[in-house]
C-alpha cells in the first residue's frame, strides 16, 4: 500500500466529445478456476496462495491470462508454476524463470518489483498457474479478491479463503457472506464461494466496473505494519495511526519559519496569506515520488523537503500544513482517493486511499489545496477530488468527510463568435472560447503550446479549415476560485459555407459537434454520468449583401432528466443572424430501461448542433416568393 | 571573487551592442553558468519550450587494460535550463545501462549541480546531488537504469550534470541525437577511435551540423611476460568531432509512419575490427556482406525447415489448378495451422517451437510456407525489409541493423512474381499489410544486388454504387454496394474484423453516417482474397423545409478536413498506398418535386503527385446521377508542397458538402 499520487492536467486537443466504445457481444475468456487463500501466521507474517485457470478464446481475452505479481519490501514471491496449452498443441510449462522481473517504477524510485508473463499461443488456449507470496514485516490488509477484472470474461468457480489465528479480529467487506468454521484448535477459516459470474460488458457511461462484482476486501482490525501497530476498527482509530506517522515530522527549520512569517507579514487577510504560501510552495518545490517501505505511507520530514525542494503528495502537503500552522492558520492532512468518489464507509481501511491534500481553514471558510501541481489554480478542487469522500487526520483521530463538488452548470465551455460571411463562402471570424471549472482543466494546457500548436488546437474539430489565423491570445482567471481560460483569435477561412448558383448553405454551428458514439442496441448497464457540463455557443452571422434567409427555424428548448438542449435563431436586422446553441449534461445515474430516452435526448442535441441554414440570392427569393 | 563586480557592467555593454541572442550569452564550459542562462525566461528557438538544453556533449574514447581488454568510454555532460512547471521533471535523471552475461556497463562519476539565482541578493546558489538520492533499478535481466533526483530544482534553475559510462560492448558507439523534444542551443559529439576499429557513419535528419576529423598517435601498455613488466604499444587514433547549434525541437504530426527517422543524428556502425597481428574481422562492408551476415546469424535456418503437412500439400500439388491457385492454397494451409501472433520478427523460432504453440510471428509462418514451396520446386526468395514504422532503409548505407523482417517472393515459370507474408490476416498473394509496403526492400542474396519496390504492387480501388429513391416523407431509401480491391480491400476488411461482430460494424456505420441500416451482406471475408464486397440497404432522413428538400448526395465523406487542419507542416505526409475511388449515385426524386438547384460539375487536379478529384452531376426525367472520381497517385507528399496539397485536399472535401435543392411543383 502506497500513497503517492500527483495530479496532472491534460489538454484535450479536440472539442469533439469522443469516447471509445469497446463493446463486444461474444465472450473473450472464461476463468474456470480462481482460488485465493491467505493464511495469517501472526500480525507480521502470512502466506498468500493463488490458483488460477482460464481459457482464452481470442486476442481480446489475452489480458485475462497475463500474469502480474506484485512484490515490495513487505511481500516476496516464493513459489510459482504453471502451464500453457495452445489449441490442439502440446502443454508447455511456465517456470518461475520464465517470468520477467522488473523493478521499473513510474515515479523516481520505489521498492516495487513486478513479475510478469504475457502468454502467446493459438486460440483458444488454456493457462493454469499457481503461486505463493510470503508476507513479512506487517499486514495492513489481506490481498483483495477481485473475481473478474476484464469485460466479456466469465467466471466458472471462484473462492477466497482466510485462515486466521483465533485471537485475531478481522473485518471484511463483500456482498457475499463467508462460511466461518473452526479449522483447527487455534485457527478460524472464512470461506467465500462464488459460483458462475456472467460476463460484464463495458458500455459508454457505465458505472465503475467493480460495482458489478462481488469483490472481497478484508483486513486485520488490529494490525502492525513495519512495527507500527494500529487499529482500523473505525475511521477515527485509523486516523490516529496515520497521525502517528506524520507527527514530529512537521518541524520547520528556524530560518524557513522566519521566512514564512516575513513573507506573509503584510498580507491583509488569511486567504491572502494562504495564497502567498501556496504560490511559494509551487515555486520552491516539485513532485518527486520515492516510495520505500513504510515511506509508502509516511511522509519525508518537512526539513528534508525544505532542504531538497522535492517531495511526494504526503511530504509536500505536510510542508504546506506546517507553513500554515507557523502563521497560526489551521490546516489539516487529508487522505483521499483520486480514483473513487465514494469510500466504503463501513470498511475503514488505508487501502482505499491513494492521495493526500490539505484543508486550510482561514476563519469560517475552507480551502482545499492540491500540493503536487502548482498549475492547479489556488483553491480549485480538481476533478480527481471534487465531491470525493476523504479522511481528515487530526491528533484526535480520523474524521470522515466529503469534499464539495461544483454544479454541472459551472463546468462550461462556450464559444462566442462573430462571423462575416462572403458570398463566395469564405469568412472572417472573430473567435473566442471560454472554459470554466472542470472544462478549464481540459483546456488549460493551451497556455503551454507554441504558436503552431495553438493554431492547430483552434483549427481542430471545426467544420471548416483555417486559411489564416492571427492575434491568438488567451487569458486565465481565477475569480472566486473558479478558474477559467478564454482563448481568442482572428480567423480567415475559405470554406465557412458551401455555395451553389443561387444559394449558400451555412452550418448554424460549425464550431462544436457533439459525438458520444452511443450504441443503438439494447442497454445492459445503468447510465452513469460522472461529470456534468454545459455548452453554450453564441454565433453572430453577418449575411452577405444580396442574400436572405430561405429556411426559418422556430426556437427549440427541451429539458429532460439527463440534461437540457436547444437553440435560438433570431434576426434583429435583415443581414444579421444570432444563433445560440446550448447543451447541458447532468451528472447522475439512471436505470438502463431509460436508455432509449437518453439516446433520444443525445440525438436531438446532436442535431441541434448540426443545423443547416440556407441563404438565397434576394432577387431569386422575391421571384419565387 | 573580486572580478565578479565587473560582470554586470560587461553584461550591460553586451546588451547595448547586440540585440538578440549571441553565442557568448551561453557558456560552453562545464561548471560555468552565465547570467544570461540564469535569467532567461523563455527560449528564442521555441517560445513554448518548458526547458532548453543549453549544452550537451559526448566524448567517446577507448581504453585498454590487459585484464578487461578494450573498453569504450563515454563521458557525457549536459546543462539544462528549466523554463516552466513541465520542465521540472528534468531535475530527475535516468541513465540506462546494459549487462549481458560477463559484458557490463558501468556508470561512474555521476555528479550534478543545480544553479539558482537568488532573487533578493542576486547571488548564485549552488546545490549538489546527494549520494542518498541516487538509485539503481533493474528493468530486466539485461537492462538497468540509474536514477537520480536533484535538490532545489525550480522554474529558472540551471541544471548541470555529467557522468561516465564504461562499456565492455566496445563495438557499440551510441548514436548521438543532436535533436530532441527540447530545443538545443549547442550539442557536441567527439569520438576517438583507435585504428583497430572501423565504423560506418550514418547521418539523419534535416538540421545542419558540422564535422571535422584529425588523427594522432597514442599508446597503451601491455604486460610482457609474467614478471609485471609492461611495454608500450603505439597506435594511430582518429578523432571525429561533430557540433550543431540552435536546433529546434521535434514535434509529432499525423500521417507519419516514423518520426524518429527525421531526428537529426549521427550513428556509428561497426564495420570491422583488426587487432595487431590478427586477421581483419569484418562486420559490414556492402549489402552482400549484410546478407551473408544475416544468413549466418540465423536466416539460413529460415530456408531450411523440413516441410510439415506433407499429406495435405501433396494433395494440393496433384490438383488441376494453376500455380498461383496452388500457392494460395498452401498459404491458406499453413495459416490454418499456425496463427499469426501479431508480431513481426526477423528470425524465426524453431519449427518445433512453432508447432508446439501453434502460433508464430510472420517469419515463423513465412519460413514454413517457404519450406513447402521449395519442396514443390518453386523458386522462392526471402525479401528483407524494414517495417515502415521503423523508418526507411537507405540504400547508399549498407548497415547490419537495416532490416527487421522478411517476406517471401515466388517467381513462377511464366515470370509472374508473387509476394507473400504470413502476417497479413486480411491480405492475399501480393496484398501485404500497409506496414510492409516499403519502396526499398532487398532480395536476400549474397551473390547479387537486387532491390524491389513493394509500395506499388497492386492497383488499389474502391468502387461504390448507390441506387435508390427519395420519398415524399423526406427519406432516402437506397442500396449501397462497396467493392474494394487489393490494398483497399485489406484496409476495409481489417477495419471490419476489428469489430466483434457484424452488428457492431453496422451500428458504427449507422452512427457515423446518421443512417438506418435495414439489411446487409458481406462477401469474400474469410478466404484469402483480394476483394471485399459490402452491400447495405439503408434509409436516411433528409431535410425537408416548407416546399423545399435539401440533400447532400454523398452518404459518406471519404476525406476529412481534420486530417490536414494544420496550416503548415515540417515533415512529409506519408500515405499508406495509392488508390482510385469511384462513387456512383442514381437517385429518383419524389413525384411532385422538381430540381430547383444542382451543384456544378467540377474537377480539381494536383498533377505533381498524380492526384485529382472530379465531380459530374446530371439529371434526366426524375433521376439524378452523380459520378465522382478521386485518385491518390502518390504516397509521399513533400513538405514544400504541403500548402498546395492542402488546398487540393480542402477543395476535394468541399465536394462532399454539395447540396441539391428540390422544390414542390405547384
Residue-wise pLDDT tens digits, B501-526: 888 899 889 888 889 999 999 987 76
CB contacts of B659 in chain A (<8 Å) are 498, 500, 503, 505
pLDDT confidence tier of residue A361, bands split at 50, 70 and 90 = very high
C-beta separation of A309 from A285 below 8 A: yes
d(CA A241, CA A217): 20
What part of B 455-494 touches A (C-beta under 8 Å)? none
Residue A127 has pLDDT above 60, yes or no: yes
d(CA B391, CA B400): 15
How high is the pLDDT of residue A26? Answer: 67
pLDDT confidence tier of residue B16, bands split at 50, 70 and 90 = very low
Residue A447 has pLDDT above 70, yes or no: yes
Best B121, B360, B565 member to test A by mutation, with max A CBs in 10 Å, is B565
d(CA B245, CA B185): 5
Mean predicted confidence (pLDDT) in A478-504: 93
Provide the grid cell at B566.
494544420
Cell 543545480 belongs to B114
**From the centroid of its chain, how far is CA B531?**
28
Residue B646: asked if its preceding bond is cis (omega within 30°), the reply is: no
Q: Which residue of A has its CA nearest to B251?
A: A453
Best B339, B551, B568 member to test A by mutation, with max A CBs in 10 Å, is B339
Provide the grid cell at A502.
443561387
How high is the pLDDT of residue B259? Answer: 85
Mean predicted confidence (pLDDT) in B276-298: 83
d(CA B542, CA A549): 19
How high is the pLDDT of residue A8? Answer: 59
Residue A365 Cα, gap to closest chain B Cα (Å): 29
CA distances from B579 to B458, B484, B576, B611 (A): 9, 10, 9, 10
Best B335, B359, B546 member to test A by mutation, with max A CBs in 10 Å, is B359
What part of B 280-339 touches A (C-beta under 8 Å)? 338-339
Q: Which of A563, A534, A553, A564 is nearest to A611 (CA)?
A: A553
- Interface A-B: count of C-beta contacts within 8 A: 186
Residue B625 has pLDDT above 80, yes or no: yes
C-beta separation of B295 from B348 below 8 A: no
Q: Which residues of B84-107 are buried (b: 16+ CB within 10 A; e: fewer)?
A: bbbbbbbbbbebebebeeeebbeb
Q: Do A24 and B501 touch (CB under 8 A)?
A: yes
Report phi then psi at A376, rounded to 5: -75, 125
d(CA A379, CA B423): 54
- The least confident of A22-31, B346-355, B440-449 is A22-31
- The least confident of A344-358, A427-441, B415-429 is B415-429
Q: Which of B221, B212, B142, B172 is nearest to B60 (CA)?
A: B172
Residue B20 has pLDDT above 50, yes or no: no
Residue B241 Cα, gap to closest chain A Cα (Å): 33
Strand A588-590 with A527-529, pairing:
antiparallel
CB-CB: which of A25, A309, A502 is closest to B501? Answer: A25
How high is the pLDDT of residue B98? Answer: 93
pLDDT confidence tier of residue B409, bands split at 50, 70 and 90 = very high
d(CA A503, CA A519): 36
Q: Do B151 and A309 touch (CB under 8 A)?
A: yes
Residue B428 is classified by DSSP as B
How high is the pLDDT of residue A13? Answer: 33
Q: Which of B494, B488, B437 is nearest to B635 (CA)?
A: B437
Residue A22 has pLDDT above 80, yes or no: no
Each residue of A155-169: pLDDT tens digit? 999 999 999 999 999
- The beta-strand segments (E) located in A247-388 are 286-287, 290-291, 310-311, 330-336, 355-361, 367-369
How high is the pLDDT of residue A3? Answer: 67
Residue B655 has pLDDT above 80, yes or no: yes
Q: Do B600 and A103 touch (CB under 8 A)?
A: no
pLDDT confidence tier of residue B7, bands split at 50, 70 and 90 = very low
What part of A 480-519 touches B (C-beta under 8 Å)? 494-495, 498, 500-503, 505, 517-519
Mean predicted confidence (pLDDT) in B577-598: 94
Residue A448 Cα, gap to closest chain B Cα (Å): 6
Residue A262 Cα, gap to closest chain B Cα (Å): 14
Report phi then psi at A478, rounded to 5: -150, 50
pLDDT confidence tier of residue B1, bands split at 50, 70 and 90 = very low
CB contacts of A103 in chain B (<8 Å) are 137-139
Each residue of A213-227: pLDDT tens digit? 899 999 999 999 999
Each residue of A556-593: pLDDT tens digit? 999 999 999 999 999 878 889 999 999 999 999 999 99
CA distances from A299 to A243, A252, A480 (A): 11, 14, 32
CA distances from A217 to A347, A390, B266 (A): 9, 19, 55
Mean predicted confidence (pLDDT) in A128-137: 96
Q: Which residue of A has its CA nearest to B360?
A: A121
CB contacts of A455 in chain B (<8 Å) are 566-567
Mean predicted confidence (pLDDT) in B634-643: 91
What part of A 67-96 touches B (C-beta under 8 Å)? 84, 86-90, 92
CB-CB: which of B565, B597, B646 is closest to A503? Answer: B597
Percent of chain A with pLDDT over 70: 95
d(CA A102, CA A96): 14
A476 at interface of B, judged by CB pairs closer than 8 A: no
Residue B325 is classified by DSSP as H
Best A282, A452, A472 member to test B by mutation, with max B CBs in 10 Å, is A452
Q: Which residues pair with B537 in a beta bridge?
A: B479, B519
Residue A150 has pLDDT above 50, yes or no: yes
pLDDT confidence tier of residue A200, bands split at 50, 70 and 90 = confident
pLDDT confidence tier of residue A5, bands split at 50, 70 and 90 = low
How high is the pLDDT of residue B564? Answer: 82
Give the dihedral of Cα atoms A294, A299, A300, A305; nearest 10 deg: 160
CB-CB: which of A466, A505, A519 is closest to B659? Answer: A505
pLDDT confidence tier of residue A619, bands split at 50, 70 and 90 = low
Three-state DSSP class for residue B352:
helix
A255 at interface of B, judged by CB pairs closer than 8 A: no
Percent of chain A with pLDDT over 90: 71
Across all residues in chain B, what is the average pLDDT? 89
Each residue of A236-257: pLDDT tens digit? 999 999 999 999 999 999 999 9
B151 at interface of A, judged by CB pairs closer than 8 A: yes
Q: Which residue of B has its CA nearest to A611?
A: B543
How high is the pLDDT of residue A25? Answer: 45
pLDDT confidence tier of residue A553, bands split at 50, 70 and 90 = confident
CB contacts of A612 in chain B (<8 Å) are 543, 550
pLDDT confidence tier of residue B546, bands split at 50, 70 and 90 = confident
Residue B119 has pLDDT above 80, yes or no: no
Q: Do A102 and B138 touch (CB under 8 A)?
A: yes
Residue B579 has pLDDT above 70, yes or no: yes
Q: Do A109 and B503 touch (CB under 8 A)?
A: no
CB contacts of A25 in chain B (<8 Å) are 500-501, 503-504
How high is the pLDDT of residue B219? Answer: 87
Report phi then psi at A152, rounded to 5: 55, 40
Residue B544 has pLDDT above 90, yes or no: no
How high is the pLDDT of residue A89? Answer: 79
Element (H, E) at B648: helix B642-655
- The least confident of A196-205, A318-327, A601-610, B313-322 is A196-205
Residue A262 has pLDDT above 70, yes or no: yes
How high is the pLDDT of residue B560? Answer: 83
pLDDT confidence tier of residue A616, bands split at 50, 70 and 90 = very high
A116 at interface of B, judged by CB pairs closer than 8 A: no
Mean predicted confidence (pLDDT) in B448-460: 93
Q: Do B654 and A469 touch (CB under 8 A)?
A: no
CB-CB: which of A59, A285, A460 is closest to B565? Answer: A460
Each residue of B185-197: pLDDT tens digit? 999 999 999 999 9
Amino acid at each position: 500500500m502506497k500513497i503517492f499520487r500527483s495530479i496532472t492536467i491534460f489538454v484535450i486537443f479536440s472539442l469533439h466529445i469522443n469516447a471509445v466504445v469497446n463493446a463486444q457481444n461474444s465472450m473473450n475468456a472464461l476463468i474456470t478456476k480462481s482460488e485465493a487463500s491467505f493464511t495469517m501466521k501472526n500480525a507480521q507474517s502470512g502466506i498468500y496462495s493463488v490458483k488460477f485457470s482460464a481459457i482464452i478464446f481470442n486476442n481480446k481475452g489475452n489480458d485475462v491470462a497475463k500474469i502480474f505479481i506484485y512484490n515490495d519490501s513487505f511481500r516476496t514471491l516464493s513459489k510459482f508454476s504453471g502451464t500453457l496449452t495452445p489449441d490442439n498443441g502440446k502443454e508447455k510449462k511456465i517456470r518461475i524463470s520464465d517470468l520477467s522481473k522488473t523493478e521499473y517504477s513510474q515515479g523516481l524510485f520505489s521498492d516495487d518489483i513486478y513479475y510478469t508473463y504475457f502468454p502467446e499461443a493459438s486460440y483458444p488456449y488454456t493457462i493454469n498457474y499457481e503461486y505463493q507470496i510470503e508476507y513479512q514485516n506487517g499486514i495492513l490488509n489481506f490481498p483483495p479478491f477481485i473475481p473478474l477484472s476484464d469485460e466479456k470474461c466469465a467466471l466458472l468457480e471462484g473462492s477466497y479463503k482466510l485462515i486466521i489465528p483465533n485471537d485475531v479480529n478481522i473485518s471484511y467487506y463483500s456482498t457475499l457472506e463467508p462460511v466461518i468454521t473452526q479449522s483447527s484448535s487455534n485457527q478460524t477459516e472464512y470461506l467465500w464461494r462464488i459460483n458462475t459470474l456472467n460476463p460484464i460488458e463495458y458500455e459508454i457511461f457505465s458505472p465503475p466496473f467493480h460495482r458489478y462484482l462481488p469483490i472481497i476486501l478484508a483486513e486485520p482490525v488490529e494490525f502492525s505494519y513495519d512495527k507500527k501497530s494500529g487499529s482500523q476498527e473505525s475511521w477515527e482509530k485509523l486516523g490516529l495511526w496515520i497521525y502517528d506517522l506524520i507527527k514530529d515530522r512537521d518541524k520547520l527549520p528556524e530560518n524557513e519559519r522566519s521566512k514564512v512569517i516575513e513573507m506573509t507579514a503584510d498580507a491583509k487577510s488569511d486567504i491572502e496569506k494562504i495564497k502567498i504560501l501556496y504560490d511559494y510552495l509551487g515555486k520552491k518545490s516539485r513532485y518527486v515520488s520515492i516510495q520505500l517501505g513504510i515511506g509508502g505511507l509516511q511522509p519525508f520530514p518537512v526539513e528534508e523537503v525544505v532542504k531538497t525542494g522535492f517531495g511526494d503528495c504526503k511530504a509536500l502537503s505536510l510542508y504546506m500544513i506546517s507553513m500554515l500552522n507557523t502563521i497560526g492558520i489551521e490546516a489539516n492532512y487529508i487522505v483521499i482517493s483520486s480514483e473513487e468518489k465514494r469510500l466504503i464507509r463501513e470498511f475503514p481501511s488505508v487501502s482505499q486511499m491513494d492521495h493526500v491534500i490539505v484543508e486550510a481553514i482561514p476563519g469560517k471558510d475552507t480551502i482545499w489545496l492540491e500540493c503536487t501541481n502548482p498549475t492547479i489554480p489556488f483553491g480549485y478542487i480538481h476533478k480527481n477530488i471534487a465531491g470525493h469522500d476523504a479522511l481528515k487526520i487530526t491528533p484526535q483521530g480520523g474524521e470522515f468527510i466529503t469534499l464539495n463538488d461544483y454544479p454541472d452548470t459551472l463546468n462550461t465551455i462556450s464559444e462566442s463568435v462573430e462571423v462575416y460571411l462572403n458570398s463566395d463562402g469564405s469568412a472572417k471570424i472573430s473567435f473566442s472560447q471560454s472554459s470554466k471549472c472542470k472544462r478549464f482543466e481540459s483546456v488549460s494546457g493551451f497556455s503551454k503550446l507554441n504558436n503552431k500548436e495553438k493554431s492547430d488546437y483552434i483549427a481542430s474539430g471545426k467544420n471548416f479549415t483555417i486559411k489564416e489565423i492571427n492575434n491568438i491570445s488567451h487569458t486565465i482567471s481565477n475569480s472566486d476560485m473558479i478558474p477559467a481560460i478564454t482563448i481568442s483569435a482572428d480567423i480567415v477561412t475559405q470554406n465557412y459555407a458551401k455555395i451553389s448558383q443561387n444559394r449558400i448553405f451555412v452550418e448554424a454551428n460549425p464550431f462544436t459537434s457533439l459525438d458520444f458514439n452511443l450504441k443503438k442496441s439494447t442497454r445492459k448497464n445503468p447510465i452513469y454520468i460522472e461529470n456534468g457540463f454545459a455548452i453554450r455557443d453564441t454565433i453572430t452571422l453577418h449575411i452577405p449583401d444580396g442574400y436572405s434567409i430561405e429556411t426559418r427555424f422556430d426556437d427549440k428548448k427541451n429539458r429532460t432528466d439527463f440534461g437540457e438542449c436547444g437553440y435560438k435563431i433570431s434576426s434583429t436586422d435583415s443581414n444579421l443572424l444570432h444563433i445560440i446553441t446550448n447543451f447541458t449534461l447532468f451528472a447522475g445515474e439512471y436505470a438502463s430501461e431509460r436508455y432509449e430516452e437518453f439516446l433520444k435526448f443525445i440525438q436531438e442535441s446532436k442535431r441541434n448542433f448540426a443545423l443547416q441554414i440556407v441563404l438565397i440570392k434576394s432577387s431569386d427569393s422575391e421571384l419565387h416568393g | 571573487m573580486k572580478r565578479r563586480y565587473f560582470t554586470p557592467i560587461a553584461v550591460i555593454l553586451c546588451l547595448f551592442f547586440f540585440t538578440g541572442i549571441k553565442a557568448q550569452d551561453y557558456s560552453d564550459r562545464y561548471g560555468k553558468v552565465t547570467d544570461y542562462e540564469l535569467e532567461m525566461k523563455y527560449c528564442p528557438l521555441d517560445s513554448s519550450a518548458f526547458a532548453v538544453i543549453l549544452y550537451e556533449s559526448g566524448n567517446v574514447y577507448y581504453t585498454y587494460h590487459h585484464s578487461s581488454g578494450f573498453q569504450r568510454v563515454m563521458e557525457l555532460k549536459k546543462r539544462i535550463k528549466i523554463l516552466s512547471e513541465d520542465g521540472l521533471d528534468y531535475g530527475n535523471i535516468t541513465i540506462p545501462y546494459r549487462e549481458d552475461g560477463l559484458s557490463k556497463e558501468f556508470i561512474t562519476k555521476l555528479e550534478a549541480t543545480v544553479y539558482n539565482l537568488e532573487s533578493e541578493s542576486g547571488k548564485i546558489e549552488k546545490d549538489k546531488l546527494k549520494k542518498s538520492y541516487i538509485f539503481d533499478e533493474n528493468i530486466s535481466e539485461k537492462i538497468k537504469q540509474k536514477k537520480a533526483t536533484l535538490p532545489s530544482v525550480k522554474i529558472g534553475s540551471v541544471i548541470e550534470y555529467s557522468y561516465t559510462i564504461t562499456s565492455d560492448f566496445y563495438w557499440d558507439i551510441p548514436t548521438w541525437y543532436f535533436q530532441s523534444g527540447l530545443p538545443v542551443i549547442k550539442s557536441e559529439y567527439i569520438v576517438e577511435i583507435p585504428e583497430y576499429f572501423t565504423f560506418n557513419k550514418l547521418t539523419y535528419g534535416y538540421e545542419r551540423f558540422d564535422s571535422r576529423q584529425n588523427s594522432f598517435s597514442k599508446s597503451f601498455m601491455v604486460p610482457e611476460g609474467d614478471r609485471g613488466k609492461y611495454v608500450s604499444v603505439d597506435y594511430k587514433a582518429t578523432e571525429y568531432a561533430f557540433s550543431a547549434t540552435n536546433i529546434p525541437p521535434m514535434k509529432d504530426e499525423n500521417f507519419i509512419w516514423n518520426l524518429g527517422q527525421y531526428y537529426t543524428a549521427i550513428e556509428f556502425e561497426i564495420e570491422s575490427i583488426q587487432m595487431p597481428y590478427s586477421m581483419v574481422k569484418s562486420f559490414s562492408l556492402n549489402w552482400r556482406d549484410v546478407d551473408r551476415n544475416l544468413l549466418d546469424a540465423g536466416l539460413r535456418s529460415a530456408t531450411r525447415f523440413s516441410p510439415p503437412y506433407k499429406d495435405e500439400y501433396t494433395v494440393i500439388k496433384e490438383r488441376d489448378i494453376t500455380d498461383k491457385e496452388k500457392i494460395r492454397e498452401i498459404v491458406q494451409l499453413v495459416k490454418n495451422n499456425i496463427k499469426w501472433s501479431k508480431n513481426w520478427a526477423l528470425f524465426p523460432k524453431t519449427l518445433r517451437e512453432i508447432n508446439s504453440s501453434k502460433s508464430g510471428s510472420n517469419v515463423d509462418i513465412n519460413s514454413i510456407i517457404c519450406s513447402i514451396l521449395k519442396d514443390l520446386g518453386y523458386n522462392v526468395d526471402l525479401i528483407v525489409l524494414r517495417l515502415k514504422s521503423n523508418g526507411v532503409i537507405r540504400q547508399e548505407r549498407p548497415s547490419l541493423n537495416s532490416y527487421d523482417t522478411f517476406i517471401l517472393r515466388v517467381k513462377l515459370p511464366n515470370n509472374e512474381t508473387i509476394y507473400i507474408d504470413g502476417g497479413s490476416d486480411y491480405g492475399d498473394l501480393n496484398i501485404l499489410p500497409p506496414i510492409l509496403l516499403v519502396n526499398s526492400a532487398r532480395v536476400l542474396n549474397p551473390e547479387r544486388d537486387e532491390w524491389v519496390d513493394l509500395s506499388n504492387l497492386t492497383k488499389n480501388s474502391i468502387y461504390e454504387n448507390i441506387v435508390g429513391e427519395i420519398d415524399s416523407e423526406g427519406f432516402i431509401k437506397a442500396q449501397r454496394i462497396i467493392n474494394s480491391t487489393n490494398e483497399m480491400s485489406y484496409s476495409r476488411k481489417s477495419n471490419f474484423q476489428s469489430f466483434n461482430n457484424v452488428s457492431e460494424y453496422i451500428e458504427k456505420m449507422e452512427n457515423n453516417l446518421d443512417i438506418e441500416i435495414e439489411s446487409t451482406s458481406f462477401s469474400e471475408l474469410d478466404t484469402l482474397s483480394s476483394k471485399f464486397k459490402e452491400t447495405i440497404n439503408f434509409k436516411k432522413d433528409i431535410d425537408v423545409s416548407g416546399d423545399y428538400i435539401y440533400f447532400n448526395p454523398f452518404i459518406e465523406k471519404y476525406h476529412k478536413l481534420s486530417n490536414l487542419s494544420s496550416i503548415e507542416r515540417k515533415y512529409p505526409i506519408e500515405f499508406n498506398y495509392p488508390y482510385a475511388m469511384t462513387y456512383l449515385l442514381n437517385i429518383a426524386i419524389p413525384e411532385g418535386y422538381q430540381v430547383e438547384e444542382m451543384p456544378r460539375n467540377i474537377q480539381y487536379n494536383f498533377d505533381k503527385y498524380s492526384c485529382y478529384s472530379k465531380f459530374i452531376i446530371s439529371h434526366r426525367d426524375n433521376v439524378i446521377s452523380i459520378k465522382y472520381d478521386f485518385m491518390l497517385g502518390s504516397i509521399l507528399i513533400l513538405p514544400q508542397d504541403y500548402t498546395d496539397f492542402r488546398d487540393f485536399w480542402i477543395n476535394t472535401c468541399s465536394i462532399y458538402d454539395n447540396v441539391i435543392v428540390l422544390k414542390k411543383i405547384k
